[in-house]
Amino acid sequence: MSETWTIKYVIYREKKGQEPKFEEFSLEMRPEEYVLDGVEKIWAYHDRSLTFQHACHHSTCGACGMLVNGVEKLTCITKIKDVTENGGVVRIEPMRNFPVVSDLVVDMSTFFSRMETAKARQVVSLSESPTDSGIKREPNAADDLYRLSDCIECGLCISACPITATNPEYLGPAILAAVQLNGLDRFPELLSWVDNADGVWRCHSAFECTEVCPSNVEPAWRIMDLRKQVVSRRVKNLFGMK
Ligand code: SF4
């Protein structure tokens, strides 16, 4: 029989009109199980009023981001043995820098809205994208599609960002990374959106975003590169260059 550990889950609880509090649950967990498994066990066997969100269970949907012992994690890919030990504590809180809706669920609508603004410019024609064979298609409006990128829009980078914590107007790591991916030469209309005090210049290079990103987007590096793009674009605009 596989080894089990006794784990104390300490869960943040917040319901509308009630004072936030922490509740404790004792669970028998295998070290190889995931943190999300424990949250689901609490909901299934202890308290059906616990609110949290998840979907894919394999780090694709980005829905299960939470603070685990004070660090931003995708809970579906974070193993118990990587955050605690037998007899230890797993403290679960909602992500920072987002309003709490209920318990572990946060309101990400502003973040998603900003991502849509960034992604709206990512619509490109297949005719502009190399195919697997390297052959370009003829222009065809029906072929327009969204380019895929590695960002799963989990919001962990926003939660970890110390600048977002002090300035909610700051666009934030994932949004700026998306703009960098687009490229300002390709989408110069994005320049004014990112070239201001709440845009690319607000970042203080803490690199917390890159530290917690589960998808290797490396948003901090992309923000640094976007600054170069901004300066280059300014010069090109000054001299009327494309
Ligand atoms: S950049 Fe990384 S941490 Fe930020 S939303 Fe995208 S996948 Fe999540």
Regarding whether 123 and 100 lie in a shared domain, the answer is no
Neighbours of 73 (CB within 10 A): 25
Domain boundary among 77, 105, 133: 105
- Ligand 1 centroid to Cα of residue 26, in Å, is 31
What pLDDT is recorded for position 241? 85
- Ligand 1 centroid to Cα of residue 210, in Å, is 8
What pLDDT is recorded for position 149? 65
In the chain, the amino acid numbered 121 is: R
In total, how many domains does the chain have? 2
Strands ordered across the beta sheet of 5-13 = 21-29, 5-13, 89-93, 65-68, 71-74
* All residues at 6 or more sequence positions from 47 whose CB lies less than 8 Å from its CB, including other chains: 23, 25
Ligand 1 atom closest to the CA of 177, numbered from 1: 1
Regarding whether 144 and 98 lie in a shared domain, the answer is no
Note down the domain range covering 30: 5-105
What pLDDT is recorded for position 122? 53
Regarding whether 124 and 98 lie in a shared domain, the answer is no
Residue 200, ligand 1, Cβ within 6 A: no
Regarding whether 129 and 224 lie in a shared domain, the answer is yes
What pLDDT is recorded for position 1? 65
Regarding whether 66 and 84 lie in a shared domain, the answer is yes
Q: Give the pLDDT confidence of 35-92 residue by residue, as tens digits.
A: 999 999 999 999 999 999 999 999 999 999 999 999 999 999 999 999 999 999 999 9
Residues of the chain with pLDDT under 70: 1, 120-149
Are the C-beta atoms of 35 and 57 separated by less than 8 Å? no
Regarding whether 98 and 42 lie in a shared domain, the answer is yes
Regarding whether 155 and 190 lie in a shared domain, the answer is yes
Residue 154, ligand 1, Cβ within 6 A: yes
Domain boundary among 105, 130, 158: 105
Regarding whether 118 and 95 lie in a shared domain, the answer is no
Residue 151, ligand 1, Cβ within 6 A: yes
Neighbours of 74 (CB within 10 A): 27
Regarding whether 219 and 114 lie in a shared domain, the answer is yes
Gap between the Cα atoms of 190 and 182, Å rounded: 9
Regarding whether 130 and 99 lie in a shared domain, the answer is no
Regarding whether 123 and 101 lie in a shared domain, the answer is no
